[in-house]
């Protein structure tokens, strides 16, 4: 097991403490392959090795794009401060709160944004951004919990996309890997991502 743990992006203990593997009481058929078991209290538990594997894929996919070609959307309030810090560190555009309708599809709007990739923190509350991404034919990356539908998602990363600590860990890892791929310094800590 020790050999396996060394291959993870962060130590197994860090994953477990963040609750990244704790799902909801509901499961969607699309998320079944990522579910490890169901707890006595009815919550589904995601496979941590699969989360790590998908986080690596997500990171590698993001690393192929320039920061100005990516937009992260996060309607869920638990992720706002984390997503904003991620944006500050990487230079990737972030929209927290309500997604502005037509932002990606209507060039007449002042807020019109061209992008080559959409990254949704949760494809359910961020569904309008996902629909717009499909309309303009850009890839959609998303963090998906056990209850999420992945129909319009090109690459999903299974995780607890509702928990503050879980989201902090995901964006900490993604920021670190994004900066590393660009040979830029990264001195933020996981604690920085967990702050309000």
Give Cα 55 to chain centroid, integer Å: 8
Q: What is the pLDDT of residue 6?
A: 53
Q: Which two tokens stand for residue 3?
A: 């050999």
Mind listing the pLDDT tens digit of every residue in the chain (196 residues)? 444 445 899 999 999 999 999 999 999 999 999 999 999 999 999 999 999 999 999 999 999 999 999 999 999 999 999 999 999 999 999 999 999 889 999 999 999 999 999 999 999 999 999 999 999 999 999 999 999 999 999 999 999 999 999 999 999 999 999 999 999 999 999 999 998 7
Residue 184 CB contacts under 8 Å (≥ 6 apart), including other chains = none
Question: Please, what are the domains in the chain?
Answer: 10-183 (3.40.50.10490)
Q: What is the pLDDT of residue 13?
A: 97
Q: What is the pTM of this model?
A: 0.94
Phi, psi of 59 (to 5 degrees): -60, -45
Q: Residue 64's CB: how many other CB atoms inside 10 A? A: 11
3-state SS, the chain, equals: CHHHHHCCCCCHHHHHHHCCCECCCCCCHHHHHHEEEECCCCCEEECHHHHHHHHHHHHHHHHCCCHHHEEEEECCHHHHHHHHHHHHHHCCEEEECCCCCCCCCCCCCCCCCCCCEEEECCCCCCHHHHHHHHHCCCCEEEEECCCCCCCCCCEEEECCCCCHHHHHHHHHHHHHHHHHHCCCCCCCCHHHHHCC
| CB of 76 closer than 8 Å to CB of 121 | yes
Phi, psi of 52 (to 5 degrees): -60, -45
For tokens 């070609």, what's the residue?
69
Q: What is the pLDDT of residue 1?
A: 44
Distance CA 90, CA 70 (A): 10
């Amino acid at each position: 097991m020790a050999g396996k743990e060394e291959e993870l992006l962060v130590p197994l203990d860090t994953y477990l403490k963040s609750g990244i593997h704790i799902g909801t009481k509901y499961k969607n058929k699309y998320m079944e392959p990522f579910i490890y078991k169901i707890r006595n209290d009815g919550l589904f538990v995601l496979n941590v090795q699969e989360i790590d594997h998908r986080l690596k894929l997500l990171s590698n996919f993001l690393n192929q794009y320039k920061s100005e070609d990516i937009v992260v959307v996060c309607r869920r309030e638990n992720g706002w401060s984390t997503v904003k810090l991620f944006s500050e560190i990487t230079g990737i555009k972030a929209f927290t709160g309500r997604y502005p309708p037509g932002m990606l599809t209507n060039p007449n709007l002042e807020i019109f944004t061209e992008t080559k990739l959409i990254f949704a923190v949760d494809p359910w509350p961020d569904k309008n951004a996902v629909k717009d991404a499909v309309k303009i034919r850009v890839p959609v990356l998303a963090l998906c919990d056990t209850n999420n539908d992945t129909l319009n998602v090109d690459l999903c990363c299974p995780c607890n996309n509702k928990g503050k600590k879980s989201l902090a860990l995901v964006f900490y890892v993604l920021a670190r890997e994004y900066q590393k791929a660009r040979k830029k310094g990264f001195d933020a800590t996981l604690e920085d991502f967990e702050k309000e």
